[in-house]
Amino acid sequence: MLPTARACAYTLPHVAETGGVGNQPPPLSGFDPLACDPALADAVHREGAGDALPTLASLAEVVGSAEARAHARLADTHPPVLRTHDRYGRRVDDVELHPSWHWLMDTSVGWGLHATPWVAPAGSGAHVARAAGFYLMNQLENGHCCPISMTYAAVPALRHDAELAERFEPGLRAQHYDPGPGTPDGKAGLLAGMSMTEVQGGSDLPAVATRAERAADGTYRVTGRKWFTSAPCSDLFLTLALAPDGPTCIVMPRVLPDGNRNGMHLLRLKDKLGNRANASAEVEYTGAVGWRLGEEGRGIATVLTMVTMTRLDCVLGSAGLIRIALSEAAHHVAYRSAFGARLADAPLMQAVVADLALESEAATALGLRLAGAVDREERELLRLALPAAKYLVCKRAPTVVAEALECLGGDGYVEDSGLPRLYREAPLNSIQAGSGNVTALDVLRAITREPGSAEAVLAEIDEAAGMDAWFDRGVQELRTELRGREERRARRLAEMLALCLQGSLLLRYAPDDVASAFVSSRFLPDGPWRTAGTLPAEAHTETLLERVTPVR
Ligand SMILES: Cc1cc2nc3c(=O)[nH]c(=O)nc-3n(C[C@H](O)[C@H](O)[C@H](O)COP(=O)(O)OP(=O)(O)OC[C@H]3O[C@@H](n4cnc5c(N)ncnc54)[C@H](O)[C@@H]3O)c2cc1C
């Protein structure tokens, strides 16, 4: 017999009976992520996109809104579901995505954070404006930023073939989010993915085993398995496969021009640590039809054009993640008290958050400087500065997020706070698009094979020569390291390069309090950065904290 209502003795306690909620901050929503980030606004100006600031302010309003933050949480807590077959047993190879995922995609595509800047003339600031927007959007939700980034990065790679570029660029650039399968020529907006990593090796691209056979009509038939292919519902995939003349890049549509689905089967979705809103699939190609991009046998160089651009977004994405973690920490300590005083007034807490703020200032300045270099087509500088920055900024993100999480005490460790999502996300950018070691080895390769790249980076660093003794000493150490070029020291070299670039930018453009605290703590002889909150006594931690606290 079911219990009657009367038989059920338990009643919900009234909140007052358990005590009210005191000493807790208001939710960090309705805040302005641009107003509390002068480093971003300054960098946008400096890099030639000052005109975009009003538009960025409107985007920032969206990013900081309660509605957007709810969508970010929902997209993450309702991960994608794979549907391999329909009820009749037919293959559909589809992924069901939560409405909040579509809201996020629609927003980012609508704001043109994907491929739109590629149509603007060099030096117009379009890439800088887009970079700032992408950085803001990474403060909201990182999973959906993956297809946004891949679509951005696909355009320069597609330009290896004028015909393919002409055919697909307009769709990739369109500010129209058009999910669902359809022929790429007929859709209002396109998304692009990349499909390179195989089970036997991701970094080791020459070991590719997926095969591409030339067909009589000039297309290729691709057969094999890929271990990772994110955003598998994209419209086009740049895929690496072994053709008769060697590794070759093939552009594969999800739906063929005749409306049939391509031979691309989704085997399963990865159960990932973070980035959970985004689907990452294992894929099997069964004679999938595609078009060659670039020369046969030169596919690695072709796909690396795309990878290089995603590296910029790894830097911007990690800078965004660092910044939102900092905002969460600064916001919490502004409202929470312990031992009768606000945490934000406790000297040791100030030292911790100020240290995180320095990391954020440096990551933001460097990310936007690189976007400016893309805008102005500073190829030599990018060749070396990009992998070095990717190495350092992405490595810093987990440390910064972990410290920010701790600023919230036990609440930071609880899902409701949103910090665990940031913590799970934080290691990813250092793994994808070239893991730490691989990126550091790329730094070494750039220095060895393209000496102009080292000259360009040193010229940029030297712009701040003589401004600070700590910094000058660090640059001297970098020059020694550059001469050594030992493989086992490649991480140190990458780190020093990025650190010197950050130091140079902050010394020239940041307020004195920021620059001096950064160089005096990051260029110490006994290591670049100890635990957070160990800034030298002269650092003006209170001012630093005030500068970055979110405005509601
Ligand atoms: C969430 C997520 C999404 C992804 N999405 C995609 C996608 O959409 N498309 C795609 O193609 N791939 C994707 N990847 C795969 C990713 O790019 C690879 O995981 C990455 O490139 C590393 O390759 P791997 O996993 O095979 O590791 P390995 O190549 O096996 O490397 C393992 C470790 O060895 C190190 N290492 C490798 N070579 C050397 C060396 N010579 N010296 C010293 N150390 C070395 C690496 O740095 C790494 O730490 C995704 C991965 C993740 C986690």
- pLDDT tens, 5-35? 333 344 434 444 445 789 999 999 899 999 9
- Cα distance between residue 94 and residue 412, in whole Å: 35
* 203 Cα–ligand 1 center, Å: 5
Q: Which residues contact 340 (CB under 8 A, 6 or more apart)?
A: none
- pLDDT value at 369 more than 80: yes
Tokens of 240: 């690496």
Measured distance CA(46)–CA(362) in Å, rounded: 15
How far apart (Å, rounded) are the C-alpha atoms in residues 551 and 38? 12
- For 308-365, how does the pLDDT look when each residue is reduced to its tens digit (9 = 90+)? 999 999 999 999 999 999 999 999 999 999 999 999 999 999 999 999 999 999 999 9
- Ligand 1 centre to CA of 438 (Å) is 9
77 three-class SS: helix
pLDDT of residue 443: 97
Residues 466 and 141: their CA atoms lie apart, in Å, by 41
DSSP of 50-71, one letter per residue?
Answer: GGGHHHHHHHHHHHTSHHHHHH
Q: How far is the C-alpha of 239 from the C-alpha of 248, rounded, in Å?
A: 8
With bands split at pLDDT 50, 70 and 90, how would you rate the model's confidence at 534? confident
Rounded CA gap, 68 and 59, in Å?
11
User: What are phi and psi for residue 486, nearest 5 degrees?
Assistant: -85, 135
Q: Does residue 411 carry a pLDDT above 80?
A: yes
The residue among 245, 234, 241, 235 whose CA lies nearest residue 285 is 241
Kindly give the distance from the C-alpha atom of residue 427 to the centroid of ligand 1, in angstroms, as a whole number.
12
Ligand 1 centre from 270 Cα, in Å? 14
Q: What is the DSSP string of 136-172?
A: HHTTT-STTHHHHHHHHHHHHHHTTSHHHHHHHHHHH
- Helix, strand, coil shares of the chain, percent, nearest 5, are 55, 15, 30
Which of 306, 432, 489 to probe ligand 1 with, by most ligand atoms within 8 A of CB?
Answer: 432
Give the residue carrying structure tokens 């730094």: 443
The two tokens of residue 249 are 């890049």
Banded model confidence at residue 526, pLDDT cuts 50, 70, 90: low
Q: Which residue of 282, 431, 443 sits with most ligand 1 atoms within 8 Å of its CB, as the best mutation to test the pocket? A: 431
Can you tell me the distance from the alpha carbon of 229 to that of 283, in angstroms, rounded to the nearest whole number? Answer: 7
Q: Is 269 helix (H, G, I), strand (E, B) or coil?
A: strand
Mean pLDDT of 198-208: 96
pLDDT at 536: 83
CB of residue 275 inside a 6 A radius of ligand 1: yes
Separation CA 232–CA 306 (nearest Å): 17
Q: How far is residue 398 CA from its own chain's centroid? A: 13
The CATH architecture to which 39-297 belongs is Beta Barrel (2.40)
110 Cα–ligand 1 center, Å: 31
pLDDT the model gives residue 7: 38
Distance CA 358, CA 326 (A): 10
Residue ranges covered by each domain of the chain: 39-297, 302-548
Q: What is the average per-residue pLDDT within 387-408?
A: 98
Q: Give the global pTM.
A: 0.95
Check if the beta carbon of residue 503 is closer than 8 Å to that of residue 462: no
DSSP 466: T
Q: Is 387 in the pocket of ligand 1 (CB under 6 A)?
A: no
What pLDDT, on a 0 to 100 scale, did the predictor assign at position 21?
86
CA of 131 to the centre of ligand 1 (A): 24
**60-98: pLDDT as tens digits:** 999 999 999 999 999 999 999 999 999 999 999 999 999
- 372: its two tokens: 């400016």
Predicted pLDDT of residue 528: 60
532 has a pLDDT exceeding 90: no
Mean pLDDT of 289-305: 97
Contact in structure between 532 and 399 (CB atoms under 8 Å): yes
Q: What is the pLDDT of residues 468-521, one digit of tens each?
A: 999 999 999 999 999 988 899 999 999 999 999 999 999 999 999 999 999 999
Question: Ligand 1, residues 203, 234, 276: which to mutate, most atoms within 8 A of Cβ?
Answer: 203
Task: Report the percent of the chain where pLDDT is more than 70.
Answer: 96
Comparing 232 with 6, the larger pLDDT belongs to: 232
Single out the residue of 193, 102, 292, 113 nearest to residue 184, CA to CA.
193
Same fold, 39-297 and 302-548: no
Nearest atom in ligand 1 to the alpha carbon of residue 437 is: 47
Q: Given the structure tokens 């605290």, which residue do they identify? A: 517
As a whole number, the mean pLDDT across the chain is 94
The architecture (CATH level 2) of 302-548 comes to: Up-down Bundle (1.20)
- What distances in angstroms separate CA 201 from CA 133, 227, 250, one per listed residue? 33, 9, 19
Give the pLDDT band (50/70/90) at residue 530. Answer: confident
User: What are the φ/ψ torsions at residue 241 (nearest 5 degrees)?
Assistant: -145, 155
> 201: Cβ below 6 Å to ligand 1?
yes
Amino acid 4: pLDDT: 37
Best mutation site among 76, 228, 238, 429 for ligand 1 pocket (most ligand atoms within 8 Å of CB): 228
Is the distance from the beta carbon of residue 227 to the nearest atom of ligand 1 less than 6 Å? no
Task: For ligand 1, say whether the CB of 204 is within 6 Å of any of its atoms.
Answer: yes
Which of the residue ranges 240-254, 312-326, 431-445, 512-526 would you say has the lowest mean pLDDT?
Answer: 512-526
Nearest-10 Cα torsion for 357, 492, 367, 438: -130
Atom of ligand 1 nearest to the CA of 274: 1
